Amino acid sequence: MNNTRISGYRTYNSKWNKTTISLQKPITKLIVIYKPEDVIAAVEEIYQRCKKFPVIGMDCEWTPVHRKKEKPDVALLQIATNDGFCILLRTCFMTELPHAMLELLSDPCILKVGVGIFNDGEFLKHKYPELNIKGRFDIRYFSRFCNVFSKNESLKELTKALLPFELQKENILQYKWDDYLDNEMVQYAALDALAGVLIFEKLLPLFHEQESEVPFHTISSSELIERYFFNRNSICNPFVDTKL
């Protein structure tokens, strides 16, 4: 494991303490954010890392819902880039979503990927009505296009089939996302977002091979994503911001 500092702060016992843990690969850098003013620098770093690969993995965690049809209250927003940079935004402490994050999530030129990502976005919009999220794509569509699976598969199953690590979800029902986050919860949350973007990255060349005779390595990833997702005539564009 790689000993890396988490840049962030705990609110446990009303103190702000930096924490160091051993990060599980392929996480390379992890930031846990409690204060809105810390979001600007994190979002700027995301944009820098997305210049060559304009895709982020996105996931949300929330407190348990006890009534039928009650919308979950999102307590944590996770975002990851394909090079292992992850941020965990503790929305349970924020009555408003920071402007920099609003801009990132509404940016149609940054693709947001994950499993069940449409619902995650809707839950976020319920908590923050000012949010106009754009560019969501459920990677289960991609797995079908590439004939990896023929039915709805969970993020855990897709990760096990396509990536060199597995997601541990045995204790998920015990986690209280609006309370203190221990090391296990932090790693779990980061890997959920990171797995989404890494699965997408794994499937992109497979999809390209089906659609074109031009070798994958001769075209930049940003150009391919523009061609297949943001072009209105592309096969994947109708599935962007569409619920599976």
| pLDDT value for 10 | 36
pLDDT exceeds cutoff 80 at 243:
yes
Residue 209 has φ and ψ, to the nearest 5°, of: -60, -30
The rounded Cα 200 to chain-centroid distance in angstroms is 11
| pLDDT value for 232 | 86
Residue type for position 149: F
- Asked if 139 and 154 count as a contact pair (C-beta separation under 8 A), the reply is no
| pLDDT value for 242 | 92
- pLDDT tens digits, one per residue of 154-186: 899 899 889 988 888 777 767 889 998 988 899
pLDDT exceeds cutoff 70 at 19:
no
- pLDDT tens digits, one per residue of 186-238: 999 999 999 999 999 999 999 999 998 999 999 999 999 999 999 888 889 99
Name the more confident of 48 and 15: 48
pLDDT exceeds cutoff 70 at 126:
yes
Name the more confident of 13 and 238: 238
User: Which residue in 173, 193, 150, 183 sits closest to 59, CA to CA?
Assistant: 193
Give the percent of the chain with pLDDT over 70: 87
End-to-end alpha carbon distance in the chain: 36
Residue 19 pairs in a beta bridge with 6
pLDDT exceeds cutoff 50 at 17:
no
C-alpha torsion sign, points 162, 167, 172, 177? negative
pTM: 0.88
Residue type for position 114: G
Mean of the pLDDT values across residues 82-95? Answer: 96
Homologous superfamily of the 2-239 domain (CATH): Ribonuclease H-like superfamily/Ribonuclease H (3.30.420.10)
| pLDDT value for 22 | 62
